[in-house]
Amino acid sequence: MSLIIGLSILLGCQFLGEIVSRTFALPVPGPVLGMLILLIALMIRGGIPKSLRTMGEGLLKYLTLLFVPAGVGLIQHFGLISREIWILIITLIVSTSLTILVTSQTLQRVARRDVSSRKHNT
């Protein structure tokens, strides 16, 4: 029964998320709003029901399997991919490297300032 309750909680939140997303014509996907709704509910409740943890962590454990059907959809875009293959490769490599570089440098700087200001306070 606990798996059914867990899945119902997840589907219920997704359902609410879809309703909010459609009603207000938001650019945010329904499941993301569902995630936010669940997060707020958990904060208010102050804990994760066991049924939800069992189902949710089970799903997250096999999350990579769930990408496969969509990934196979690349078969429909061979034309586009072969036409723009170099654009895709260059963009992915440069943009991903930049993102890691900028994020780690920012964190390094902010964290250092955070630590030193905390030392001054005490």
Partner 1 sequence: MSGFGLEQIWVYLSATPLLHLFATLLAFIVATRINRWVGGTPLLHPVIVAIALLIGFLLLTGTDYATYFEGAQFLHFLLGPATVALAIPLYDHRERVRRMLWPIVIGTMTGIVTAVISAVSIAMVLGADPQTVLSLAPKSVTSPIAMGIAEKLGGIPSLTAGLVLLTGVVGCIVGPWIFRMTRITDPTIQGYSMGLAAHGFGTAYCFASVGAVAGAFSGLAMGLSGLVTAFVLPSIVHLFGL
Q: Which is nearer to partner 1, 1 or 6 (CB)?
A: 6
d(CA 9, CA 22): 20
Residue 47 Cβ vs partner 1, minimum distance, rounded to whole Å: 9
Judged by CB under 8 A, the number of residues near partner 1 is 70
Rule CB under 8 A: is residue 11 a binding residue for partner 1? yes
Rule CB under 8 A: is residue 5 a binding residue for partner 1? no
Rule CB under 8 A: is residue 116 a binding residue for partner 1? no
Rule CB under 8 A: is residue 42 a binding residue for partner 1? yes
Out of 65, 79, 116, 122, the residue judged to bind partner 1 by CB under 8 A: 65
Rule CB under 8 A: is residue 71 a binding residue for partner 1? yes
* Contacts of 13-18 spanning 24+ positions with Cβ under 8 A: 13/37, 13/38, 13/41
Instruction: Decide if 3 contacts 53 (C-beta within 8 A).
Output: no
Rule CB under 8 A: is residue 27 a binding residue for partner 1? yes
